[in-house]
Amino acid sequence: MARLTRDTIVTEAIALADAGGLDGVSMRKIADALGAGVMSLYRHVPDKDALLAEMASAIGHQFPYPPELLGDPDWRARVHIAAAIDMDLYTSHPWVLLAHAAPRAAAGEPSVRCFDWLVEAFTHLTRDVPVAAEFALHIWTYVQGAGLGAVGAQLLVPGAAAESGFVAGLRDNEPATQLPRLAALRVATRAELSDPSLLLTRGVDALCDGFAARAAR
pLDDT digits (tens, 9 = 90+) for 13-28: 999 999 999 999 999 9
Instruction: Look at residue 61 and tell me whether its pLDDT is greater than 60.
Output: yes
Residue 166 in contact with residue 149, Cβ under 8 Å? yes
* Pair 138, 175 in one domain: yes
Instruction: Look at residue 33 and tell me whether its pLDDT is greater than 90.
Output: yes
pLDDT of residue 1: 55
Instruction: Look at residue 11 and tell me whether its pLDDT is greater than 90.
Output: yes
99 φ, ψ to 5°? -60, -40
Residue 119 in contact with residue 132, Cβ under 8 Å? yes
59 within domain boundaries: no
CATH number assigned to the domain comprising residue 74: 1.10.357.10
pLDDT of residue 214: 96
* Pair 34, 88 in one domain: no
pLDDT of residue 163: 65
Name the residue with higher pLDDT: 189 or 107. 107
Distance CA 154, CA 150 (A): 9
pLDDT of residue 164: 65
Q: Would you give the end-to-end CA distance of the chain in angstroms?
A: 63
* Pair 77, 183 in one domain: yes
210 within domain boundaries: yes
pLDDT of residue 188: 61
191 within domain boundaries: yes
What is the rounded average pLDDT of the residues 194-204?
88
pLDDT of residue 180: 81
128 within domain boundaries: yes
* 27 CB-near residues (< 8 Å, 6+ apart): 38, 41, 42, 48, 51
pLDDT of residue 22: 93
Name the residue with higher pLDDT: 76 or 149. 76
206 within domain boundaries: yes
Distance CA 8, CA 194 (A): 40
60 within domain boundaries: no
pLDDT of residue 206: 97
pLDDT digits (tens, 9 = 90+) for 69-92: 999 999 999 999 999 999 999 999
pLDDT of residue 185: 72
Q: What is the extent of the structural domain holding 39?
A: 6-46
pLDDT digits (tens, 9 = 90+) for 162-182: 666 777 777 777 887 788 878
Which percentage of the chain shows pLDDT scores above 90? 68
* Pair 212, 111 in one domain: yes
Domain total for the chain?
2
CATH number assigned to the domain comprising residue 14: 1.10.10.60
